[in-house]
């Protein structure tokens, strides 16, 4: 199964979500982001002698196709870039599940409207594609904004909404700097509990 973390908008937390899922689910990552945040994270892990994380950085469509073909009977995570090109389009249509991190704000809703058009085109090539919005980097005090975002998502009918939510936690930044997932960094933290709930929900979708 291919799990792609995707959004055409940058800065929504795709790489943070991808590395935490990859570590907790013990899965390799295909890093299509131009900043190669997942690849850099894996290098920090090596430096700190943490458990290795396999990260692929294909530069051509042919390389990406070869990787996906070799993993067609296994699970794999793709960290998609925040832009539109051949690799990201192919990753999207090749996916079984797409997870799109979105923060509760009006600006994010505008970005989601644009992404819904990309998703609709992708579903023309892959009608079985399932796209789930992950409310990410949310302020626990802004419940009204979260409710409004969930309402908008349901009205678009282009996406489903994950029950799991990731709230704004300083542990995400601190753990990345140490080459760790939030659960490795602080197993008793709220961030870790939220990630574990997300992993559980994704595993249920894959079952």
**Integer Cα distance of 80 and 4 in angstroms:** 7
Q: pTM for the full model? A: 0.93
**Integer Cα distance of 93 and 89 in angstroms:** 6
pLDDT at 27: 97
Q: With a cut of 50, which residues of the chain have pLDDT below it?
A: none
Give me the residues paired with residue 99 across strands.
5, 132
pLDDT at 207: 84
pLDDT at 78: 97
Domains in the chain with CATH codes? 2-202 (3.40.50.300)
pLDDT at 147: 85
pLDDT at 179: 94
In Å, how far from its chain's centre is CA 63? 21
Tell me the per-residue pLDDT of 109-163, one tens digit each, with 9 for 90 and over.
777 888 888 888 899 999 999 999 999 998 888 888 888 888 888 887 778 999 9
Instruction: Give the percent of the chain with pLDDT over 90.
Output: 67
Give me the residues paired with residue 130 across strands.
97
pLDDT at 156: 76
Return the ∠ at Cα 112 (arms to 131 and 106), rounded to 5°: 140
pLDDT at 51: 83
Q: Contact at 8 Å (CB) between 85 and 118?
A: no
- Strand order from edge to edge, sheet including 97-102: 55-56, 29-31, 76-79, 2-5, 97-102, 130-138, 160-167
């Amino acid at each position: 199964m291919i799990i792609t973390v995707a959004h055409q908008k940058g800065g929504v937390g795709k790489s943070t979500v991808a590395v935490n899922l990859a570590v907790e689910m013990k899965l390799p990552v295909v890093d299509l982001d131009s900043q190669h945040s997942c690849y850099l994270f894996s290098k920090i892990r090596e430096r700190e002698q943490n458990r290795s994380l396999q990260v692929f950085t294909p530069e051509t469509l042919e390389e990406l196709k070869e990787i996906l073909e070799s993993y067609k009977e296994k699970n794999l995570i793709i960290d998609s870039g925040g832009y539109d090109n051949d690799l990201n389009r192919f990753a999207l249509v090749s996916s079984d599940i797409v997870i799109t991190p979105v923060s509760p704000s009006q600006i994010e809703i505008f970005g989601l409207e644009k992404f819904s058009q990309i998703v609709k085109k992708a579903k023309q090539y892959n009608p079985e594609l399932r796209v789930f919005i992950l409310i990410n980097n949310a302020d626990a005090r802004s419940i009204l904004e979260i409710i409004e975002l969930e309402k908008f998502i349901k009205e678009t009918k282009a996406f489903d909404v994950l029950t799991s939510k990731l709230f704004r936690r300083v542990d995400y930044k601190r753990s990345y700097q140490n080459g760790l997932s939030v659960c490795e960094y602080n197993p008793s933290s709220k961030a870790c509990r939220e990630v574990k709930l997300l992993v559980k929900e994704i595993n249920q979708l894959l079952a």
